[in-house]
């Protein structure tokens, strides 16, 4: 095989690999809305032992102690914000590297890459699923891109924000839903946000009570590189707003009635829970996430985890 043919083969193979990796979908629910069979996406999605999402249950959690989160430039509106229909969700990308997060037990500074939504929630809390879940996806600042960080354990940090169904609309979601009218029917299409949106406005007021565990991306490739933080305080969303999210079309032109992955087993992982009384509290000190996780795993091994 000549060098030119070899290069052509590698390029074509790479394109085929990317294309096949994107050819996945969420299971279609039954007429009663129940999903009968879990998704089968192959690779690490099927074989991994540290997959997400999971059921966040207090019975399986150990109490943790973390320093407070420190948010930088989260109150600023996202610059040149675009809303994209990815075929699997609606997503807002951030191109400003100064929007960063650190503290909260994270092993360094993390840069906000993008925000996207799942309807209903991917994580459940004590078996209860919420109407909507926002993922704020960050990569470790030591790496240039999210793709590069996703290949490294604990180099991606995702903040999960749950939304409970309420009577009133959430005004901060209106700019997202109004813009979604322009991209609703075409996967891969994007449009400028019809207003200003600050990440801060999509965070709960109480950012000291949350679940923490080490897991994966919830979509292919399901890379096991994520430090998960899911806040226990939820934000409101109206039922009408949830129904509007469900009208987004996927790559096949069908409505995305749901876009949440099925729950994954916890296996031998530690699930840590912290409240506003324990974050930065006295006694145990400001333990980093790695130390707490290792201690919790030791308790699991010893059969002392409650």
Residues labelled catalytic: 88
**Cβ-based burial of 227 (10 A; exposed 0-12, middle 13-18, buried ≥19):** buried
Q: Are 164 and 237 in contact (CB under 8 A)?
A: yes
Distance, C-alpha 257 to centroid of its chain: 18
How would you classify the pairing of strands 226-231 and 156-166? parallel
* C-alpha separations of 135 from 60, 92, 230, 244 in Å: 23, 11, 9, 18
CA atoms within 13 A on the CB side of 304: 6
Structural tokens at position 181: 């009218």
């Amino acid at each position: 095989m000549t060098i030119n043919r070899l290069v052509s083969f590698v390029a074509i193979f790479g394109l085929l690999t990317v294309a096949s990796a994107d050819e996945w979908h969420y299971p279609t629910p039954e007429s009663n809305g129940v999903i009968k069979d879990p998704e089968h996406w192959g690779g690490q999605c099927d074989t991994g032992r540290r997959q997400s999402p999971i059921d966040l249950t207090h019975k399986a959690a150990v109490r943790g102690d973390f320093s407070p989160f420190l948010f930088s430039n989260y109150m600023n509106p996202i610059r040149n914000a675009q809303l994209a229909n990815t075929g699997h969700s609606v997503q807002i990308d951030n191109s400003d590297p100064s929007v960063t997060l650190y503290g909260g037990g994270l092993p360094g500074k993390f840069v906000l890459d993008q925000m996207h939504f799942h309807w209903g929630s991917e994580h459940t809390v004590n078996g209860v699923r919420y109407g909507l879940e926002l993922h704020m996806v960050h990569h470790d600042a030591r790496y240039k891109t999210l793709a590069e960080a996703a290949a490294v354990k604990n180099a991606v940090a995702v903040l999960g924000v749950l939304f409970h169904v309420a009577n009133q609309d959430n005004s901060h979601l209106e700019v997202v839903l109004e813009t979604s009218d322009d991209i609703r029917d075409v996967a891969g299409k994007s449009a400028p946000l019809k207003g200003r949106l600050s990440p801060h406005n999509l965070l709960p007021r109480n950012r000291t009570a949350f679940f923490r565990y080490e897991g994966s991306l919830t979509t292919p490739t399901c890379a096991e590189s994520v430090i998960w933080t899911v806040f226990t305080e939820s934000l409101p969303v109206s039922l009408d707003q949830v129904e509007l999210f469900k009208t987004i079309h996927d790559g096949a032109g069908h409505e995305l009635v749901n876009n949440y992955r099925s729950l994954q087993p916890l296996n031998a992982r530690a699930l840590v829970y912290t409240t506003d009384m324990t974050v930065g509290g006295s006694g145990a000190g400001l333990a980093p996430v790695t130390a707490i996780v290792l201690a919790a795993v030791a308790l699991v091994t010893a059969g002392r985890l409650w």
